[in-house]
Amino acid sequence: MTRTLTALLLLAALAGGAWFLLPEPESEQAPAWSLAKLKTGSISDIVSATGTVNPLNTVLVGSQVSGTIQQLFADFNDQVKQDQLIARIDPAIFEAKRAEAEASLKNAEAARDKAWIDVQNTKREFDRQTDLFRKKLVAESVLDAARFAWQAAQAEHKVKLASVEQSRAALQREQVNLDYTAIYAPIDGVVISRDVDVGQTVAASLQAPTLFTIANDLTRMQVEADVDETFIGKVSDGQAVTFTVFAWPNREFHGSVAQVRLQPTIESGVVRYNCIIHVDNADLALKPGMTATVSIEVAHHDNVFTVPNAALRFVPDLPPEKLDRIRKDLAPGQAILWHEAGGTLMPVTVTTGIIGEKDIEVSGAELAEGMSIAVQTGRQDRKRKRRLSLTLF
């Protein structure tokens, strides 16, 4: 009997312990919270984006004629000056074409001179027949024939003059093509790319092939950052920017927004806008093509009240109808903070401002620095919470 009673008591104890340890349903749980101090400080609204570091001015140097690369006078990282010879295409074919055009011009000039002689001869014949006609020594038809021969010679001379101009233009075109076989640097800068080698054939029939890429000045760079359409309305020219690159993980670079381009880019249904950020690169730490993690400061306030973002997420364990009464008079941009004083949580209506990464700006007539504000920290069992919570108003 004693053993049976002991067993029953043991089972009852185990059952009671299990019931005590069982978690209550979700509806019986409430947010856990802690206290934070209302403080005065500075806060910034940051728009984050990624971009690529590029030179401010980059020129693609191409060729307007086709041919074989005969010589290269510049290579990667070389400093070049404007009008410096940096490459040459084999000029042999173009020299031959120029010589052919020059010969055609001489031939056309000779034909022009011969036509002028014919004009002079037919003019003399017309004058002679005119004199004979006045003396009644030749028929009028002979005079007409002489007149027509003179007029035809004049017309032929004009044709030969036009042929000379045409041949001269052809010679000029071949001279230009010959000059194009010498490739000159269009700007002062640094060669950041060389896309051809000696002996390589370039074809310019459809578009000019790129031979070199020259950056004008690597001491001044720009970051081309893609900003999501959700935040682009906050971004404007002149805003301060900080960014980092993988090559210098512990260094923060500074710049400013120079331009917000209006042309959107759409990728996988996401619309982004390109923002140009100018940055000084006097020490040449930034290289073209680096990936930049960009933070654009779109707003900044000093000497304002701030609380952790979690303070606005805290909701005390009150009946829903009571919470609704508290919230019903809230205007757009307003929120409720819960202030702890003397062991009691009291609602305080505030106007929200800049939302930072961890804190949020708040303002209101009832606020004072150092106020204790309830901050949501997680969820815990209601029974435990009751032991730790303060009295609600």
Angle 119-125-127 from CA coordinates, rounded to 5°: 100
Average pLDDT over every residue of 236-246: 96
| pLDDT, tens digit, 9 for 90 and up, residues 310-332 | 999 888 888 888 888 888 888 99
- Tens of pLDDT along 86-96? 999 999 999 99
CA distance 337 to 310: 10
**pLDDT band, very low/low/confident/very high, at 379 (cuts 50, 70, 90):** low
The more confidently predicted of residues 64 and 207 is 64
Helices (H), ranges, 67-197: 92-134, 140-179
Average pLDDT over residues 110-120: 96
Q: Mean per-residue pLDDT for 203-232?
A: 91
Asked whether the predicted pLDDT for residue 16 surpasses 50, the reply is no
- Report how far residue 86's alpha carbon sits from residue 122's, in angstroms, rounded to the nearest whole number: 58
Output the domain CATH number for residue 264: 2.40.30.170
Domain termination site, one of 251, 268, 303: 303
Contact status, residue 188 vs residue 61, Cβ threshold 8 Å: no
Shared domain check, 102 and 147 = yes
What's the chain's average pLDDT?
88
Identify whether 276 is part of a domain: yes
Pick from 189, 215, 241: which residue ends a domain? 215
pLDDT band of 5, cuts 50, 70, 90: very low
Stronger pLDDT, 365 or 106, i.e. the higher one: 106
Report the pLDDT value the prediction gives residue 1, as an integer from 0 to 100.
46
164 and 192 both lie in a single domain: no
| Domain identity same for 172 and 189 | no
Q: Are residues 345 and 371 in the same domain?
A: yes
Note whether 284 and 317 are same-domain residues.
no
CATH code at position 198: 2.40.50.100
Residue 134 domain flag: yes
Q: What is the pLDDT of residue 31?
A: 53
In contact, 160 and 108? CB cutoff 8 Å: yes
3-state secondary structure of 53: strand
Task: Name residues whose C-beta falls within 8 Å of residue 58's C-beta, 6 or more positions apart in sequence.
Answer: 192, 213, 214, 215, 216, 288
Same domain, 85 and 188: yes
- Do 210 and 268 belong to one domain? no
Q: What is the mean pLDDT of residues 213-220?
A: 93
Domain that holds residue 321: 27-41+304-392
Look at residue 232 in the predicted model and tell me its pLDDT.
Answer: 96
- Taking the C-alpha atoms of residue 290 and residue 249, their distance in angstroms, rounded to an integer, is 12
pLDDT in tens, 259-276: 999 999 999 999 999 999
Residues 243, 222 contacting (CB under 8 angstroms): no
Domain stop point among 274, 303, 332: 303
For residues 362 and 337, give the distance between their C-alpha atoms in angstroms, rounded to a whole number: 9
User: How many domains, the chain?
Assistant: 4
Q: Do 188 and 86 share a domain, yes or no?
A: yes
Name the pLDDT band for 185 (thresholds 50, 70, 90). Answer: very high
Residue 240 and residue 262 in one domain: yes
Does the pLDDT of residue 129 top 50, yes or no? Answer: yes
**CB-based contacts of 181, cutoff 8 Å, min separation 6:** 65, 67, 88, 89, 90, 91, 94
Task: Render 197-260 in DSSP notation, one character per residue.
Answer: -TT-EE--SSSPPEEEEEES-TTEEEEEEEEETTTGGG--TT-EEEEEETTEEEEEEEEEEEEE
Q: Which is it for strands 85-89 and 391-392: parallel, antiparallel or unpaired?
A: unpaired
Residues 279 and 350 in one domain: no
Tens-place pLDDT, residues 218-239: 999 999 999 999 999 999 999 9
In a domain, 21, yes or no: no
Q: What is the CATH number of the domain that holds 381?
A: 2.40.420.20
Radius of gyration of the chain (CA): 45
**pLDDT higher at 356 or 154:** 154
pLDDT, average across residues 197-213: 88
Domain co-membership, 103 together with 153: yes
Q: Are residues 104 and 211 in the same domain?
A: no
Share of the chain above pLDDT 70, in %: 88
Q: Residue 386's pLDDT is what?
A: 37
Q: How far apart are CA 308 and CA 375, in angstroms?
A: 7
